[in-house]
């Protein structure tokens, strides 16, 4: 009986120790997220309050509301976090979410109407969020090419987007690439991600779209490209 009691005592001690470790790990992740996010807010002079929280749930359940627009609270789920390989990619993820959260401050009824617009037309604001994220990252000293590598590995490519609420991932990536090429060519000329496997995969899968952009640049055309 004494032996069983001793084993139970030891096991309970181990479980408390394991809980502490999980808590310490989560605190460290939360602190990393906060530091990066606040740097983006400060560097971009964003005077609207946005908060950030790490959630160890794998991803948002379908019935749960996205708090980015309702509470201006960016939730970083485990699924998103586990794909983040460096600070630039963390900044890429957070910058996109900040850009969406900021839309909920504008307009009438304390931003309610604007939030409704973003929810009603996510496809329209998806690319806007991507572009704003690039600007936010550059202002905060991060490399915007990381937005390409992050989206490349996390956003699945749909079959078509004509009747979808979202754009094709390849279109988004090509648009981001063009935006960086036009506004911040330094990061493509001195590309730190050129030997990154995810970026290489982007180069491989975006050949046709990059060819379109090349033709546009060579001819000096100003028309909007129809990426595939």
Partner 1 sequence: MCFRACAFVEDEFVNATLKWKEIEKPKANLEYNYQNTKRIPIKMKILEPFKSEKELYEGQIIEFKTVEPVVYKRHILIPVDSIIKARVETIITNGMNGIPASVILGNFEAENIDSKHLTNYYEKFGFDLSLLVFPLKWALTPLPPTGSLTNFIKGGHAKIKKNKEIVIYYYPY
Return the residue of 83, 141, 165, 208 that touches partner 1, per CB under 8 A: 141
Residue 38: which of 49, 29, 27 has the closest Cα? Answer: 49
- Non-local (6+) Cβ contacts of 28 within 8 A are none
Return the residue of 183, 205, 216, 225 that touches partner 1, per CB under 8 A: 183
Q: Name which of residues 75 to 134 contact partner 1 (CB under 8 A).
A: 85-86, 106-108, 113, 116-117, 120-121, 124-125, 128, 131-132
CB of 9 to partner 1, least distance (A): 40
Q: Name which of residues 187 to 216 contact partner 1 (CB under 8 A).
A: 188-191, 193-198, 200, 203-204, 210-211, 213-214
Q: Name which of residues 25 to 64 contact partner 1 (CB under 8 A).
A: 39, 42-46
Closest to partner 1 by CB, 52 or 177: 177
CB of 19 to partner 1, least distance (A): 27
DSSP letter for each residue of 118-185: HHH-HHHHHHHHHHHHHHHHHHTT--THHHHHHHHHHSPPPS--TTSSS--HHHHHHHHHHHHHHH-T
Provide the pairing of β-strand 73-77 with 51-55: parallel
Query: What is the size of the binding site for partner 1 (CB under 8 A)?
Result: 52
Cβ-count burial 70-93 (b if 16+ within 10 Å, e if not)? eebbbbbeeebbeebebbbbbbbb
Q: How many Å apart are CA 83 and CA 1, to the nearest integer?
A: 48
Interface with partner 1 (CB under 8 A):
39, 42-46, 85-86, 106-108, 113, 116-117, 120-121, 124-125, 128, 131-132, 135, 138-141, 179, 181-186, 188-191, 193-198, 200, 203-204, 210-211, 213-214, 217, 222
């Amino acid at each position: 009986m004494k032996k069983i009691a001793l084993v139970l005592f030891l096991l309970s001690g181990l479980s408390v120790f394991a809980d502490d470790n999980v808590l310490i790990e989560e605190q460290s992740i939360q602190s990393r997220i906060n530091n990066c996010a606040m740097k983006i807010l400060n560097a971009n002079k964003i005077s609207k309050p946005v908060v950030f929280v790490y959630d160890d749930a794998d991803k948002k359940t379908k019935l749960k509301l996205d708090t980015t627009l309702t509470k201006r609270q960016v939730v970083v789920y485990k699924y998103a976090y586990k794909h983040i390989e460096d600070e630039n990619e963390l900044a890429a993820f957070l910058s996109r979410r900040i850009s969406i959260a900021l839309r909920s401050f504008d307009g009438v009824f304390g931003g309610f109407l604007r939030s409704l617009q973003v929810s009603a037309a996510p496809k329209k604001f998806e690319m806007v969020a991507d572009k704003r994220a690039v600007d936010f990252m550059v202002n905060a000293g991060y490399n915007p090419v990381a937005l390409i590598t992050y989206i490349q590995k996390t956003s699945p490519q749909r079959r078509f987007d004509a009747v979808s609420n979202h754009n094709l991932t390849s279109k988004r990536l090509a648009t981001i690439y063009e935006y960086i090429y036009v506004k911040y060519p330094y990061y493509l000329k001195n590309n730190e991600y050129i030997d990154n496997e995810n970026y290489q995969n982007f180069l491989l899968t975006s050949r046709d779209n990059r060819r379109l952009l090349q033709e546009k640049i060579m001819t000096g055309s100003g028309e909007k490209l129809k990426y595939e």
